[in-house]
């Protein structure tokens, strides 16, 4: 599985043309976005899309996000482009916001889990945009890891998770947002927040007003958005979120024991400790990398100090809760 290092700001055009040719030929290419690394395939090619599901071990009820270069490319895939979509795109695209709208028949049902809507995002990363431009087609790309595993924020994470199953990995360095995009559904009468992510809810609701929340889907029922499976983003060992002040009482159990906390020094009895920043954006950028590190160290149990309850930390709390779910 080739790994090619590319400049995240000015990727080599010849490299991007070669990677785009693989996409157009129906192969899988892993590439960086500003959120996490994606496992990309030509979105209009059902055979290529099937490879994504097979490679990840992803259930067919979990739809994919389709990456596009701009609003015009997005509009070509949907039945209607409401004014609110324009307002959101004007403010947050390119960037970590995914918009769900009713799809045109040209979008394969396999991409959307058979639903009448499609999730669209214009990424901000230079490599992702260069790949889209060179390929000339929309690219469906979930995170480039096995289903329910820790999302990758570096090329090394992709290689560790997928092994030889990606035809090519473009290494554009570590991602700068570090958690997945926020997803908002505009396909119905009322805007709905489907997934917390890289765009804080407060900033989103400055444009949309207060967003509705979806009902929890039944097991096996198609999800309107990726990232709604109960257990997700999880390391191999057990992950436990522990309230501040109770870490010392949680140190028993399987070993090696890892700890992610705000403290510079861990309490006695911790085998591996990673100190995290108190800023939610920086914490989000580093979270998956920290989980990957402790996973690679073989931690059978990982304790994570609970993060603050403020809205700015909502996406982090969501990821930790899903990582800890059994």
Residue 58 makes CB contacts below 8 A (sequence gap 6+) with: 52, 142, 147
Averaged over 259-280, what is the pLDDT?
95
Residue that has been written with the tokens 């499976």 in this structure: 229
The per-residue pLDDT for 311 is: 93
Averaged over 25-30, what is the pLDDT?
96
Q: What is the pLDDT of residues 227-256, one digit of tens each?
A: 666 667 889 999 999 998 888 888 888 889
Is 121 labelled as part of a ligand binding site? yes
* C-alpha to C-alpha distance for 105 and 86, rounded to whole angstroms: 22
Is 233 labelled as part of a ligand binding site? yes
Q: Which CATH number does the domain housing residue 34 bear?
A: 3.90.870.10
The per-residue pLDDT for 218 is: 64
Is 141 labelled as part of a ligand binding site? yes
Q: How confident is the model at residue 221 (pLDDT cuts 50, 70, 90)?
A: low
- Whether the pLDDT of residue 167 is over 80: the answer is no
Q: Has residue 223 been placed in a domain?
A: no
**Of 315 and 214, more confident:** 315
The per-residue pLDDT for 217 is: 67
Same domain, 201 and 246: no
Q: Which CATH number does the domain housing residue 254 bear?
A: 3.40.50
The per-residue pLDDT for 89 is: 98
**Of 258 and 326, more confident:** 258
The per-residue pLDDT for 1 is: 65
- Whether the pLDDT of residue 54 is over 90: the answer is yes
Is 67 labelled as part of a ligand binding site? yes
Same domain, 320 and 173: no
Is 37 labelled as part of a ligand binding site? no
Is 232 labelled as part of a ligand binding site? no
Q: pLDDT above 70 covers what percent of the chain?
A: 94
Q: Has residue 219 been placed in a domain?
A: no
Instruction: Give the pair of three-digit tokens for residue 62.
Output: 């979990």
- Whether the pLDDT of residue 317 is over 90: the answer is yes
Q: Has residue 128 been placed in a domain?
A: yes
Is 155 labelled as part of a ligand binding site? no
Q: Has residue 215 been placed in a domain?
A: no
The per-residue pLDDT for 234 is: 83
* Confidence (pTM): 0.94
Same domain, 150 and 45: yes
Q: Is 62 left (phi over 0), alpha (psi -120 to 50) or beta?
A: beta
Same domain, 78 and 19: yes
Same domain, 22 and 137: yes
Q: Has residue 293 been placed in a domain?
A: yes
Averaged over 77-104, what is the pLDDT?
98
Same domain, 246 and 202: no
Instruction: Give the pair of three-digit tokens for residue 287.
Output: 């979270």
The per-residue pLDDT for 200 is: 95
- Whether the pLDDT of residue 264 is over 70: the answer is yes
Same domain, 114 and 152: yes
- Whether the pLDDT of residue 325 is over 80: the answer is no
Same domain, 254 and 189: no
Is 151 labelled as part of a ligand binding site? yes
Q: Which of 190, 208, 226 is the last residue of a domain?
A: 208
The per-residue pLDDT for 66 is: 98
Give the count of alpha carbons within 13 A of 216, CB side only: 4
- Whether the pLDDT of residue 223 is over 70: the answer is no
Same domain, 167 and 290: no
The per-residue pLDDT for 163 is: 82
- Number of compact structural domains in the chain: 2
- Quickly count: other Cβ atoms within 10 Å of residue 322's Cβ: 18
Q: Has residue 263 been placed in a domain?
A: yes
272, 297 in Cβ contact below 8 A?
yes
195, 317 in Cβ contact below 8 A?
no
* C-alpha to C-alpha distance for 259 and 271, rounded to whole angstroms: 8
Same domain, 29 and 178: yes
Is 22 labelled as part of a ligand binding site? no
Q: Has residue 230 been placed in a domain?
A: no
The per-residue pLDDT for 164 is: 78
Specify the 3-state DSSP secondary structure of 87.
Answer: helix
Is 145 labelled as part of a ligand binding site? no
* C-alpha to C-alpha distance for 128 and 260, rounded to whole angstroms: 31
The per-residue pLDDT for 228 is: 63
Instruction: Give the pair of three-digit tokens for residue 311.
Output: 């809205």
Q: Which of 208, 226, 259 is the last residue of a domain?
A: 208
Same domain, 249 and 165: no
Averaged over 94-98, what is the pLDDT?
98
75, 181 in Cβ contact below 8 A?
no
72, 85 in Cβ contact below 8 A?
no
The boundaries of the domain holding residue 309 are 238-324
- Whether the pLDDT of residue 262 is over 80: the answer is yes
Q: Which of 162, 192, 208 is the last residue of a domain?
A: 208
For residue 257, what are the β-bridge partners? Answer: 301
- Element containing residue 298 per DSSP (H, E): none
Same domain, 117 and 197: yes
Q: Has residue 115 been placed in a domain?
A: yes
């Amino acid at each position: 599985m080739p790994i090619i290092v590319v400049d995240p700001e000015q990727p080599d055009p010849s490299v991007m043309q070669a990677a785009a040719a693989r996409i157009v030929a129906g192969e899988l290419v892993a590439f960086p976005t500003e959120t996490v690394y994606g496992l990309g395939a030509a979105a209009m090619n059902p055979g290529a899309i099937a490879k994504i599901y097979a490679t990840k071990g992803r259930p067919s009820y979990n739809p994919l996000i389709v990456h596009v270069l701009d609003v015009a490319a997005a509009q070509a895939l949907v039945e209607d482009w409401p004014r609110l979509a324009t307002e959101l795109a004007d403010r947050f695209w390119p960037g970590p916001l995914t918009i769900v709208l009713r799809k045109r028949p040209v979008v394969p049902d396999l991409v959307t889990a058979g639903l009448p809507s499609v999730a669209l995002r214009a990424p901000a990363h230079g490599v992702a945009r260069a790949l889209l431009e060179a390929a000339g087609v929309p690219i469906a790309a979930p995170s480039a890891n096995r289903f329910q595993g820790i999302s990758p924020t570096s090329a090394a994470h992709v290689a560790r998770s997928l092994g030889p199953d990606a035809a090519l990995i473009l290494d554009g360095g570590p991602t700068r947002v570090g958690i997945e995009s926020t997803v908002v559904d505009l396909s119905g009468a009322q805007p709905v927040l489907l997934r917390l992510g890289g765009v804080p809810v407060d900033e989103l609701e400055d444009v949309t007003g207060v967003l509705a929340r979806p009902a929890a889907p039944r097991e096996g029922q198609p999800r309107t958005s990726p990232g709604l499976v109960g257990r997700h983003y999880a390391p191999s060992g057990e992950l436990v979120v522990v309230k501040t002040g109770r870490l010392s009482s949680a140190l028993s159990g399987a070993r090696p024991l890892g700890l992610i906390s705000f403290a510079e020094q861990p309490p006695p009895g911790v085998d591996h400790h990673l100190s995290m920043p108190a800023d939610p954006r920086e914490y989000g950028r580093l979270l998956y990398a920290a989980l990957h590190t402790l996973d690679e160290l073989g931690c059978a149990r990982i304790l994570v100090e609970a993060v603050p309850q403020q809205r700015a930390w909502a996406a982090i709390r969501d990821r930790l809760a899903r990582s800890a779910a059994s």
